[in-house]
A = this chain, B = another copy of it.
Amino acid sequence: MATTSCTVYIGSFVHCRSVTELEIENDGAIGVDKSGVIRFVLRGAGGNAENIKKTLEFKEAFEHGHVEFVIVKKGGWFFPGFIDTHIHASQYPNTGLFGKTTLLDWLNTYTFPLESSFSDLDKARKIYSRAVARTLAHGTTTASYYTTFHVPATNLLADICLAKGQRAFVGRVCMDQLSPEYYRDESIEIGTENSRKCIDYVRSIDPAGEIVQPIITPRFAPSCSKGCLAALGKLQKETDAYCQTHISENKPEIELVQQLFPESGSYANVYEEAGLLNEKMILAHAVHLTPMEKELIVRRKAKVSHCPASNTALTSGCCPVRDLIERGIDVGLGTDVSGGFSPSILEMVRQTVWVSRHLAMTDGDQAKLTHEEALYLATRGGAKVVGMQDKVGGFEVGKHFDAQMIWLGDAEDIEGCDEFAAREGPVDIFGWENEEDRIAKWVYNGDDRNTLAVWVKGRLVHRRKEYDC
């Protein structure tokens, strides 16, 4: 859905210049055409619309007079939209519910009963609508979703994402063993056929795949037979779709895979043997990979979704992210709702920092990740994981404008507050903070209240009341 006019986004913008470094431009202007593509990026733009009108190289639209201006609130900035590379949309109502469980009992206690209820399309609509609205509110402009094994409900999520304008990979969950009898594919053939139906449907509603795309989704090796995985490998070759699954999340799960696939030699090799380990594969977790598995993943160019909140909540372990990055593996962040307790990628940025510090307590300082590095994983890193590095993740000419407007509030508000008042937003600004301080305050104390508006491909897909003030 294109916007009706070209738009120039004026004011500060921040994005990742490299894995370790942010670019902070305080006087920027980003020109976006009607199709949502960035046509120019100005630095030192002169600070106001008149100057920009004079200097911009965006002639065509001006000649026709159809240009709108969006000016960031004072002290705020545009930031690339977040990319959630691993989220179970169907588990969204269980966010925060995991008790004392670890992975395998968590699946039976919380997850399978909920997922199996998605035969009810009204329920599915309610849950998926909330999940998409909520993640958009947190600045997630692209999400790679797991659904359930139901075809109609899976297709409904694709409809909802397309209608709300969130980029999404939508994946029907495949499994033919080790899940309850009431919730597994009846046969390999029926499961594969159902996955094909979802692929066809998603491609029918968005033929160019600009907003929604299908993704083949074997839940994880323990719940898929060798035949099931092989059939999905074949399906991937035929359809050239993306694929997502889980790997090496916790130790009992790894032992289970060794028991179930004794001849495969390693967890990664189970996917390799099925033809699924390739550059279109997103592997969630990857906490306990062996060096040989890492080497195989590097060779196959498969991607990793780091899910720090889930790995901590379920006591799975600490993913050695720096090691994966240094080996050349593309890593993005995933909320892993509802193994993860939060639908916010900003919270995952924090959790990435915390997990890296816990890893540093045992493995040494080199394991530590800065919040700049975590922001990279949340944007450009995630873009690589979903194969969209040329399209989203930063503000460059030719990329699509997937962005959020960040605002922390005014320092002046502090003076005028009455006896009871705490600022509406979660961050207190005193007025003496420099740019790096403001970004750190956003990262460590910010939440959805600081994301005033969100755009995908130039379309406004979320706004808060403060956006209009």
Interface of A with B (CB < 8 Å)?
92-93, 95-97, 99-100, 126-127, 129-130, 133-134, 136-137, 164, 312-313, 315, 317-318, 341-342, 350, 353-354, 357-358, 360-362, 365, 368, 370, 414-415, 417, 419-423, 426-428, 430, 432, 437, 440-441, 443-445, 447-448, 461-463
Contacts and interface: CB of A to CB of B under 8 A. Distances in A.
B354 A428 contact: no
B428 A93 contact: yes
Nearest to A341: B444
14 contacts: A93-B432, A95-B444, A97-B444, A99-B440, A129-B414, A130-B414, A133-B422, A134-B423, A137-B422, A312-B357, A313-B354, A317-B361, A420-B462, A420-B463
B440 A97 contact: yes
A126 B92 contact: no
Contact of A96 (B100, B417, B422, B445): B445
Contacts of A353: 313
Contacts of A365: 315
Given A99-B440, A440-B97, A441-B97, A448 B426 contact: yes
Given A360-B315, A362-B362, A447-B447, A133 B95 contact: no
Nearest to A437: B97
A422 B93 CA distance: 14
Contact of A342 (B137, B423, B430, B444): B444
B443 A96 contact: yes
Nearest to A316: B361
Contacts of A137: 422
Contact of A445 (B95, B414, B443): B95
The winner among A164, A360, A437 for most chain B CB atoms within 10 A is: A437
Q: Give the copy number.
A: 2
Given A96-B440, A441-B95, A441-B96, A448 B428 contact: no
B134 A428 contact: yes
A312 B440 contact: no
Nearest to A138: B422
A419 B93 CA distance: 19
A59 to B, nearest CB: 33
B414 A126 contact: yes
Given A93-B430, A95-B445, A341-B444, A134 B357 contact: no
Given A313-B357, A428-B92, A437-B97, A448 B463 contact: no
Contacts of A99: 370, 440
Nearest to A358: B358
Contacts of A350: 341
Contacts of A441: 95-97
The winner among A130, A365, A370 for most chain B CB atoms within 10 A is: A130
A104 to B, nearest CB: 15
Contacts of A164: 419
Given A126-B415, A315-B360, A342-B444, 10 more contacts: A93-B430, A95-B445, A96-B445, A130-B428, A133-B420, A137-B422, A312-B357, A313-B354, A341-B444, A426-B447
B95 A315 contact: no
A349 to B, nearest CB: 12
A174 B380 CA distance: 47
A315 B426 contact: no
Nearest to A451: B422
A95 B361 contact: no
The winner among A421, A423, A432, A444 for most chain B CB atoms within 10 A is: A444
Closest 6 CB pairs of A and B: A137-B422, A96-B444, A341-B444, A96-B441, A358-B358, A315-B357
B358 A312 contact: yes
Nearest to A126: B414
A97 B463 CA distance: 28
A379 B370 CA distance: 33
B422 A100 contact: no
Contacts of A361: 315, 317-318, 358
